[in-house]
Amino acid sequence: MPPDMDKSHGAPNSSPGYETRDANTGGVLNFLVIMAVVLVLTGLVSWGVFRYFASHEQENAAASPFAGTRPLPQGPQLQVTPREDWLKYRAAQQHNLETYSWVNREKGIVSVPIDQAMDIIVKKGLPVQGQAAPSESPKPSDAAKPAEPAANGGKKP
């Protein structure tokens, strides 16, 4: 053992090397008793306040500004089977695109399959802005006439 390890670094030479005084037992006991009394009093006060508000709850319920408000909605509704839900939704959409159905029977509006609707659009064409929709196919005599130019007031140059 090195010679400087047995020195007690500033302690008096007559020191035994351990604590010779005992802890103040009276002070620790006084602290525990005071803490117990505070905890019991806090519990009693809390119980009394709770009882007071519970007894006055029925009287003050009608006076509360929140008495007539609607309740909060339930939490979010989670999908249990999202893949199956998506497949059902997609099948319903595909069914709507491929079948005939009434949209409004009184007005005579019908939903037709998408392929047939595209064929009808190709045959009839889309209406141009500013013109009325064609009610029937154009006559061959009308198609043979050249359209008059709108520039120069409709006059030929």
3-state SS record for 43-74: HHHHHHHHHHHHHCHHHHHCCCCCCCCCCCCC
Which tens digits make up the pLDDT trace of 55-93? 877 666 566 676 677 777 788 878 889 999 999 999 999
Q: What is the pLDDT of residue 149?
A: 43
Distance between CA atoms of residues 45 and 66, nearest Å: 28
Q: Into how many domains does the chain fold?
A: 1
| Residue 75 located in a structural domain | no
Place of tokens 């140059």: 157
The number of helix segments (H) and strand segments (E) in the chain equals: 5, 2
Tell me the pLDDT band of 29, cut-offs 50, 70 and 90: very high
Higher pLDDT, 56 or 25: 25
| Residue 93 located in a structural domain | no
| Residue 119 located in a structural domain | yes
| Residue 46 located in a structural domain | no
Q: What is the pLDDT of residue 24?
A: 86
Q: Which domain holds residue 111?
A: 100-125
Average pLDDT over residues 40-46: 98
Q: How many Cβ atoms sit within 10 Å of the Cβ of residue 112? A: 15
pTM over 0.85: no
Q: What is the pLDDT of residue 107?
A: 92
Higher pLDDT, 15 or 109: 109
Higher pLDDT, 32 or 16: 32
| Residue 92 located in a structural domain | no
| Residue 104 located in a structural domain | yes
The answer to whether the beta carbons of residues 115 and 132 sit under 8 Å apart is no
| Residue 114 located in a structural domain | yes
Q: What is the pLDDT of residue 2?
A: 56
Q: What is the pLDDT of residue 150?
A: 44
Which tens digits make up the pLDDT trace of 93-130? 999 999 999 889 999 999 999 899 899 999 998 878 87
Q: What is the pLDDT of residue 31?
A: 97
Residue length, the chain?
157
Q: What is the pLDDT of residue 6?
A: 55
| Residue 109 located in a structural domain | yes
Higher pLDDT, 132 or 114: 114
